[in-house]
């Protein structure tokens, strides 16, 4: 099975580089330094109309936490409704309760707003007390096709055993795991070999000088893709 390389894009230039250099998918965000926030709707339209690979769009109104009040959820619903009318491939979001559980009520409201558009539940997942239970809950929703996770650790490299266990569980459902956070070009091949994870998410690892503030580096993207596919 061909492995999937997803890279973060924050600008039209990033998106163009990602598509030309061989990335399989884009996660479009704003404020990468804050872990990713909702990009402008104009940017969403611009990029989804001009790139040839799938574009998943972050919906996250602030970086303080993943617990949202009524006004914040209403804003997220509006963003999702608009994004779902563009060429975006999927919505990327996550909602938690104050006691670190998946906020089912809020999640269902966001899913309803998307008019069938697929969802990736992002790294809010890593704040859950019980990741395996969280995966089971999310697997009840056919619209949620992916979970982006570092296995509950700051770096996915610290959670190899947990990722193997989660991947084993995910294969019993329709959900695909996307491994992200902490991977570099130097660690990518061994991680994929050790875990058999099929989808990988890269941020600074494929930017110029591995600098989050610089543009995507087409050479690094091509190298990452080669490393992934050479381990099939």
Residue 19 C-alpha from the chain's centroid: 17
Q: Are 78 and 91 in contact (CB under 8 A)?
A: no
- Looking at the structure of the chain, the number of domains it has is 1
Look at residue 231 in the predicted model and tell me its pLDDT: 53
Token look-up 């996250």 returns: 60
Q: Residues near 106 by Cβ (< 8 Å), separated by ≥ 6?
A: 68, 73, 95
Domain at 119, CATH number = 3.20.20.380
- Asked whether the beta carbons of 195 and 167 are under 8 A apart, the reply is yes
Domain that holds residue 181: 4-229
Give the pair of three-digit tokens for residue 230.
């050479």
Rounded Cα distance between 173 and 140, Å, is 9
Q: So what's the pLDDT on residue 33? A: 81
Strands 176-180 and 55-58: unpaired
Helix, strand, or coil here: 207? strand
| CA-closest candidate to residue 152, choices 161, 144, 162, 167 | 162
d(Cα 28, Cα 8) in Å, to the nearest integer?
6
**What number of H helices and E strands is found in the chain?**
8, 8
Task: List, for the chain, all residue ranges whose pLDDT scores fall below the cut of 50.
Answer: 232
What digits encode the pLDDT tens for the residues 198-230? 999 999 999 999 988 899 999 999 999 999 988
Q: What are phi and psi of 119, to 5 degrees?
A: -125, 145
The DSSP bridge pattern shows strands 199-202 and 176-180 to be: parallel
pLDDT tens digits for 6-31?
999 999 999 999 999 999 999 999 98
- Write out the H or E segment, with its range, that includes residue 145: strand 144-149
pLDDT at 41: 94
Residue 65 half-sphere exposure, CB side, CA atoms within 13 Å? Answer: 12
Q: What are phi and psi of 93, to 5 degrees?
A: -160, 175
Q: Please, which residues bridge with residue 6 across strands? A: 25, 201
Q: CA Rg, the chain, in Å?
A: 16
- Give the CA-trace dihedral at 56, 60, 64, 70, to 10 degrees: -160
Residue with tokens 């956070």: 181
């Amino acid at each position: 099975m061909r492995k999937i390389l997803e890279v973060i894009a924050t600008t039209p230039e990033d998106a163009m580089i990602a598509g030309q250099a061989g990335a399989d998918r884009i996660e479009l965000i704003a404020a990468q330094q804050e872990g990713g926030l909702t990009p402008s709707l104009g940017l969403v339209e611009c990029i989804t109309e001009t790139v040839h690979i799938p574009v998943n769009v972050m919906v996250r109104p602030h970086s303080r936490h993943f617990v949202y009040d009524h006004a914040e959820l209403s804003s997220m619903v509006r963003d999702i409704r608009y994004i779902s009318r563009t060429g975006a491939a999927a919505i990327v979001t996550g909602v938690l309760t104050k006691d670190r559980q998946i906020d089912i009520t809020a999640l269902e409201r966001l899913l309803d707003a998307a008019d069938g558009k697929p969802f990736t539940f992002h790294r809010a997942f890593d704040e859950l007390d019980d990741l395996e239970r969280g995966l089971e809950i999310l697997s009840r929703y056919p619209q949620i096709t992916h979970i982006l996770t570092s296995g509950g650790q700051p770096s996915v490299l610290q959670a190899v055993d947990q990722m193997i266990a989660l991947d084993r569980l995910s294969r019993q459902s329709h959900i695909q795991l996307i491994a992200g956070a902490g991977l570099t070009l130097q660690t990518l091949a061994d991680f994929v070999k050790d875990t058999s994870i099929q989808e990988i998410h890269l941020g600074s690892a494929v930017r110029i000088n591995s600098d989050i503030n610089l543009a995507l580096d087409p050479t690094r993207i091509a190298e990452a893709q080669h490393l992934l596919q050479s381990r099939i």
